[in-house]
């Protein structure tokens, strides 16, 4: 009976999805797609809880997730409600667009070659052993300026795909469109380089998200062609996903089962549905962390802005943070598990930090999701989409916490400034 209660969050999210569909006025929309991602996660959590009796979700974690997604998707839903076939896109200046495409494609192609040279070596190895070895010792390359550029090229994949869909919407040059599409695979090569499935899954999710965003702005013929592309990508990627999943998770144990195929299947269900449980578990652990001999009344690291680099934090502050991280590790905090973007932000910033960061996402997206005089600014739309990537990929984890991720989040602002700058 208790496991059946674990399906209650699924029904609430399904109801939310239905409400949002009515609000927007159509099924295919980015806000619906975001809600669907979290709905699927809740459904998979419920399914997996039937084979693993230790899975649970507490009310606290559910309400944090639900209201975060509810609040963050409201500006998007209001924006999408206004989009019709009569809405126009403000086209980018031809020369500046060409320069932008040249730079992004150039960095992305460099990333593909940088990481692609190791792919054969990866698939000729024992993937389960290799994956653990890479996580412990690092990958096939040493950190350098060149590797950081390659990683940044991989992170640019969502922006590359965004420009691809923009070119579809305004019927831009076909050659640059093809280059944008294939160079967007840089993120796939980046994660295959470490025997990961993430790249394929995240690329596919990003592609579908952008298709939902641009759907009312695309011609019917173009949409049909995109559906063919989706099927083609699935035919190519599914065997690769299966190879990696079987190699890495054949020994994944399901209670009462010694069937390898069943174990792999449930490993994939757990991959999508572990987040509600892991977030609930993370919150329970964070509550027990002691800081200065006293239990924390709220989650640790109130807001991790100050550090020695700014000169505003003293040595005591730094030592306290290190002590807190050490306590977290002693408590068995599982840093490699999927806890939604919410769990990662709670662990790093605390509840107040989560509220502030979520508010920043909300205001950035709301202020850039505007239709002025019946037209959409594509550079402002890019800013909003890039920041919505936090919660799109956030169905797994917060992916943009490293320096290269921070640069990625700032990139659309730089692009907007470049496209609007007047040269004399």
Per-residue pLDDT tens digits of the chain, which is 424 residues long: 556 788 899 999 999 999 999 999 999 999 999 999 999 999 999 988 888 778 888 888 999 999 999 999 999 999 999 988 778 888 888 899 999 999 999 999 999 999 888 777 766 665 666 666 665 555 666 778 888 999 999 999 999 999 999 999 987 667 889 999 999 999 999 988 876 778 889 999 999 999 999 999 998 899 999 989 889 988 888 877 777 766 666 555 555 555 555 666 777 787 788 899 899 988 887 776 644 444 443 333 333 333 433 444 444 444 444 444 444 444 444 445 789 999 988 887 888 889 999 999 999 999 999 888 889 999 999 999 999 999 999 999 898 888 899 999 999 999 999 988 765 4
> Is residue 418 within 8 Å of 100, Cβ to Cβ?
yes
Q: What is the DSSP letter of 424?
A: -
How distant is the alpha carbon of residue 414 from its chain centre?
A: 21
How distant is the alpha carbon of residue 288 from its chain centre?
A: 29
Kindly list the domain boundaries of the chain, sorted by start residue: 88-273
pLDDT for the residue numbered 369? 94
374 vs 83: CA distance, rounded Å: 9
pLDDT for the residue numbered 333? 45
pLDDT for the residue numbered 120? 75
Output the DSSP codes for 31-83: HHHHHHHHHHHHHHHHHHHTT-TT----HHHHHHHHHHHHHHHHHHHHHHHH-
Q: How far apart are the first and last CA of the chain?
A: 71
- pTM confidence score: 0.85
pLDDT for the residue numbered 17? 97
Residues 6+ apart with CB under 8 A from 410: none
pLDDT for the residue numbered 207? 96
Please name the residue ranges forming H helices in 275-422: 275-288, 315-330, 340-368, 378-392, 403-420
Residues 6+ apart with CB under 8 A from 223: 211, 215
């Amino acid at each position: 009976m208790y496991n059946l209660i674990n399906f209650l969050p699924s029904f609430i999210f399904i109801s939310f999805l239905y409400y949002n569909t009515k609000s927007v006025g159509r099924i295919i929309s980015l806000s619906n797609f975001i809600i669907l991602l979290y709905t699927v996660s809740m459904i998979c959590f419920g399914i997996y809880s039937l084979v693993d009796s230790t899975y649970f979700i507490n009310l606290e974690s559910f309400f944090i997730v639900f209201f975060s997604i509810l609040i963050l998707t409201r500006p998007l839903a209001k924006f999408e409600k206004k989009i019709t076939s009569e809405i126009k896109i403000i086209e980018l200046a031809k020369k500046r667009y060409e320069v932008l495409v040249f730079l992004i494609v150039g960095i992305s192609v460099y990333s593909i070659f940088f990481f692609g040279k190791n792919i054969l070596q990866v698939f000729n190895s024992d993937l389960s052993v290799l994956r653990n070895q890479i996580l412990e010792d690092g990958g096939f390359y040493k950190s350098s300026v060149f590797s950081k550029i390659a990683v940044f090229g991989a992170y640019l994949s969502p922006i590359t795909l965004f420009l691809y869909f923009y070119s579809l919407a305004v019927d831009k040059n076909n050659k640059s469109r093809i280059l944008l599409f294939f160079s967007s695979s840089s993120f796939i090569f980046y994660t295959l380089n470490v025997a990961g499935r993430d790249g394929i899954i995240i690329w596919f999710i990003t592609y579908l998200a952008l298709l939902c965003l641009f759907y009312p702005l695309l011609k019917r013929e173009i949409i049909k062609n995109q559906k063919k592309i989706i099927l083609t990508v699935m035919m190519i990627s599914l065997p690769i996903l299966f190879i990696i999943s079987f190699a890495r998770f054949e020994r994944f144990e399901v209670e009462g089962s010694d069937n390898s195929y069943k174990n792999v299947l449930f490993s994939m269900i757990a991959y999508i549905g572990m987040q509600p449980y892991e977030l609930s578990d993370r919150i329970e652990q964070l509550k027990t962390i002691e800081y200065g001999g006293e239990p924390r009344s709220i989650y640790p690291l109130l807001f991790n802005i100050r550090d020695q680099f700014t000169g505003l934090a003293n040595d005591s502050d730094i030592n306290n943070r290190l002590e807190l991280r050490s306590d977290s590790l002693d408590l068995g905090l599982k840093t490699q598990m999927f806890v939604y973007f919410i769990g990662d932000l709670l662990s790093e910033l605390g509840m107040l930090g989560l509220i502030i960061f979520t508010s920043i996402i909300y205001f950035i997206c709301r202020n850039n999701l505007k239709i002025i005089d019946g037209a959409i600014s594509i550079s402002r739309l890019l800013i909003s989409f890039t920041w919505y990537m936090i919660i799109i990929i956030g169905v797994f984890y917060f992916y943009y916490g490293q320096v290269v991720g921070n640069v990625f989040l700032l990139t659309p602002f730089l692009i907007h400034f470049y496209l609007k700058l007047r040269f004399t």
